[in-house]
A and B are shown apart, each in its own frame.
Chain A
Amino acid sequence: MIAYNKYTLDNGLRVIVHEDESTPMAAVNLLYDVGARDETAEKTGFAHLFEHLMFGGSANIADFDTELQFAGGTSNAFTSSDITNYYNLLPAQNLETAFWLESDRMLNLDFSQQALDVQKKVVSEEFKQYFLNQPYGDAWHKVLKMCYKKHPYGWPVIGKNLEHISNFVLDDVVDFFNKHYCPNNAILAVTGGVKSEAVIELVKKWFGDISPSERTKRQLPVETIQTEKRSTIVKADVPLNALYMTFKTPPRNTQEFYIIDFISDIFSGGNSSRLHQALVKEQKLFNQIGAYVTGSIDPGLFLIEGKLNDDIALETAENAIWEEIEKLKTDLIGTEEITKVKHKIEAHIEFNQNKILNRAMDLCYFELLNNIELINTENEKYQKVDADVVKQVANVCLNKTKSSVLHYYANKN
């Protein structure tokens, strides 16, 4: 059981505190309800570039990291399609420093042209390092583009291309800040060697006088139901052929999401999983294969991704995956296999929640989903999955007409 206290400031900032006296550290996690899905198709990659700028100086503080490091802390952040999440880990005795820093950059940024110019270059190098200078680095761009015709999930968080990154100007930064960075669009969680009352008092002190902003309800385009299989073919200088198959999943806040996630574990959770055993070990079609869900708030993706062995045709490999999907849709999964997946998920959650920082991130995220109790009940949602619903959801979600498939060919010399 993870106990927590929840408090909402007058300006709308939601605050969650979880005490863990066993550590001398404190984790401070601040989630903003803004991500790549809030960008427009002509200006992509900005939510993430903006995250970099949040470290470039704020109203009263020249350098975020220097001050935090002075208090013995470390900090980082990540941006997803749905959220931008900032986190700090520091000695609990210096907790107030994190509030001083986070509240100042929520209050106002020091909008500097120099910081923008440099971070545009840094993000361009990040783009190259992970998406262009890696074999298969562009696969994710291609997959998303094929899967989403309207919704902003159609481009990756890093952005569609380097041109978008280099075109941003300072006005974009100011607009984005004013629109999204305000207390009523944020959730703060503090975990570790802290006391709730003291934390709430300090949060009031530092965040209480920041004005809320007018919020308009997010209205995102809804994808039309897919009725035909989509295919894309790529040829590039990579060593091996690769295959990416995707299907839409139900939104995060539904019981069906847990079932499709469960199915991804049947397929690829551990060495005994179906895809590894059948396609790597027995048929030797792939040398590695995995299945995942993106877990996004709006309908996300169930993705099967694998690298083929030499001399295996992509069609052969794809057919073999369809056979595995067919089995799931016609045969009921056995009790032993169901129990195995449940044990794996239970262990995964237990190990994940052992760290105070992960608990802080989870508390913020579940609060964003308007269901903070998921911190204690998510495991139950998986534990009540049975063979019938697995078959049912497989039949609804994993159909050829709803699939999008990328064949990534290696150029042969």
Chain B
Amino acid sequence: MDRSLAPPIRLLETIPFAEAKKIKLSKNVEAYLVAGGKKNIIRLQTFIKASRWHEPKKLVAQICARMLKEGTKNYTAKALAEKIDFYGATISTKAHYDYVSITLYTLKKFLPQTLALQNEILTNAIFPEKELNTIINNSIQQLKVNLEKTDYIASTGFLSEVFGANHPYGYEVCQQDYEALNTDNLKKFYQQHYPQSAKVYISGKFDDGDIAIIQSNYGSLFNGYQSTIKLPNYEFVYHPTKKIITTPNCLQAAIRVGGPTIAKTHADRYCLNILNIIIGGYFGSRLMKNIREEKGYTYSINSTIQSYLNGNYFLISTEVGKDVCDAAVNEIFVELKRLRTEPIGDSELQLVKNYICGALLHLIDGPFKATGVLKDLYDFGLDTRYFANYINKVKSVTANELLACAQKYLKEEALTQVIARC
């Protein structure tokens, strides 16, 4: 046997990715069903438009979501926690940039009981003052810890530079923002936004009986008056900047380099995705090879393209030894320049093509993961044809196309740098 010869590999021709089954739970509630898995568990995610875009002042959406379990008409916070824990369930409530999500993880056998508890949260939260004070206090303490971390400072600073300090995606928070919250803010927000409508994603090992239970349960929810909520219009003119935030003491500097970019639905997005993989989107990326594997400046460096409903950005992030910070920033720009000036070589291009095809298969590993991927498509009006087209593009893309794309979307003068260091 010749160990220097790799075994033959087969590339993915198509991705066996099924659409979620779509049903109506009630007039205002659409549900997406993704069955799968071997274990008797169900995950139920409810997404509601009650985010930073809808709040009257900073933090209302986030703290409202955190307060949902802190007392309802029929249960104190403690009694509710006891009940949820008793069934081995977890209900997590979290504000994202475009939605708030209420996620129920439950054993299949306790679905009726745990759904009833989730209803309390969705319809009967009362926001007790005493619990709010504890949450605010704990959040402030956590903020103090975060403000000691260079990675936190650089990440929030980057978003503020890219979207604007008052923009829902860009704003940073301070202790006073927490202290300015009161129960009336939260109650009003909850009453106005939570009953409106919802999208529900159901995944795991459910049967028709379970769906019937969910259906009857959601039938009475989200029947609020469908007012048209006018979203504020955040006009922000982006100017690339270079910002250095000085921290009192540190061993590592946190570096963020990036800027606004094109939406998921844009015709050039596939090419940009491929460029992102090449520069920092996988373990073998150019930045990992250069900055970690050749120079040992960092434990990790990566790049991402993040898409929200009202904004998109490209971002390179890393934490490096403070004495090599300038050298690392320099290498980041060297690698970006290489993308814009040198066509990618054949062997690297083939490697990236193979890697992306395999990575797409990873996306359907298990019902929970597949559901997350489907939601990311449906949110933008896309469906699984997006991946079929992506595979075709990956197979056909040429070095020159990628070069042109880099020249168009990764211009040095369009990128913002934020560095937190001492």
Contacts and interface: CB of A to CB of B under 8 A. Distances in A.
B237 interface: no
Given A272-B84, A281-B78, A339-B86, A22 B284 contact: no
A288 B143 CA distance: 13
B292 A59 contact: no
Nearest to A70: B354
B262 interface: no
A373 interface: no
B251 A132 contact: yes
Contact of B321 (A61, A70, A125, A310): A125
B10 A118 contact: no
Contact of B296 (A24, A121, A205, A269): A121
Contact of A354 (B11, B37, B359): B37
18 contacts: A22-B37, A23-B366, A59-B3, A67-B6, A69-B354, A74-B283, A125-B296, A125-B299, A129-B252, A134-B149, A270-B81, A273-B85, A280-B138, A310-B141, A340-B88, A342-B88, A343-B110, A347-B106
A37 interface: no
A71 B9 contact: yes
Given A74-B359, A309-B141, A354-B41, A128 B252 contact: yes
Given A59-B3, A61-B4, A124-B321, 4 more contacts: A70-B9, A133-B150, A271-B85, A347-B105
A239 B148 contact: yes
B295 A344 contact: no
A258 B59 CA distance: 41
A97 B85 contact: no
Nearest to B37: A354
Contact of A71 (B39, B354, B366): B354
A340 B82 contact: yes
Contact of A22 (B38, B84, B283): B38
A25 B137 contact: no
B193 interface: no
Contacts of B358: 69, 71-74, 90-91, 94
A72 B355 contact: yes
Contacts of B357: 72
Contacts of A347: 41, 88-90, 105-107
B267 interface: no
A174 interface: no
Interface string B259-302: 00000000000000000000000111000000011111111000
A25 B251 contact: no
B38 A65 contact: no
B320 interface: yes
Contacts of B6: 67, 70, 97, 100
A354 B320 contact: no
B351 interface: yes
A125 B320 contact: yes
A180 B331 CA distance: 38
B398 interface: no
Contacts of B40: 350
A193 to B, nearest CB: 10
A260 B110 CA distance: 27
Chain A to chain B: the 7 pairs with minimum beta-carbon distance, closest first = A72-B358, A121-B296, A343-B88, A347-B88, A272-B81, A271-B81, A239-B144
Contacts of B321: 124-125, 128
B381 interface: no
B364 to A, nearest CB: 7
B54 interface: no
A93 B85 contact: no
Contact of B251 (A89, A119, A128, A340): A128
A335 B89 CA distance: 18
Nearest to A276: B81
A238 B148 contact: yes
Given A24-B16, A107-B3, A239-B144, A272 B85 contact: yes
A160 B173 CA distance: 37
Contacts of B368: 354
A20 interface: yes
Interface in A123-160: 123-126, 128-129, 132-135
Contacts of A294: none
A25 B361 contact: yes
Contacts of A67: 6
A99 to B, nearest CB: 8
Contacts of A170: none
A350 B107 contact: yes
Given A122-B298, A288-B138, A350 B145 contact: no
B362 interface: yes
Interface string A333-364: 00010011011111110110111100000000
Interface residues of B, number: 75
B251 A24 contact: no
B39 A133 contact: no
B209 interface: no
A37 to B, nearest CB: 24
Interface string A69-103: 11111110000000000000111011011011001
Interface string B108-148: 00100000000000000000000000100110011011011
Contact of A23 (B10, B11, B149, B365): B365
A94 to B, nearest CB: 5
Contacts of A344: 85, 88
A378 interface: no
A120 interface: yes
B299 A126 contact: yes
Contacts of B11: 72
A19 to B, nearest CB: 11
B397 interface: no
A122 B299 contact: yes
A355 B358 CA distance: 18
A22 B144 CA distance: 46
Interface in B350-403: 350-351, 354-355, 357-359, 361-362, 364-366, 368
Contacts of B250: 133
B293 to A, nearest CB: 6
A343 B87 contact: yes
B3 A287 contact: no
B330 interface: no
Interface in B299-317: 299
B283 A281 contact: no
Contacts of B39: 350-351, 353-354
A87 B320 CA distance: 27
Contacts of A107: 3
A242 to B, nearest CB: 10
Given A20-B38, A280-B138, A239 B319 contact: no
B248 interface: yes
A239 B134 contact: no
Contact of B354 (A72, A122, A351): A72
A392 to B, nearest CB: 24
A132 B250 CA distance: 8
B7 interface: yes
Given A121-B297, A340-B86, A96 B354 contact: no
B145 A69 contact: no
Contacts of B340: none
Contacts of B299: 122-123, 125-126, 129
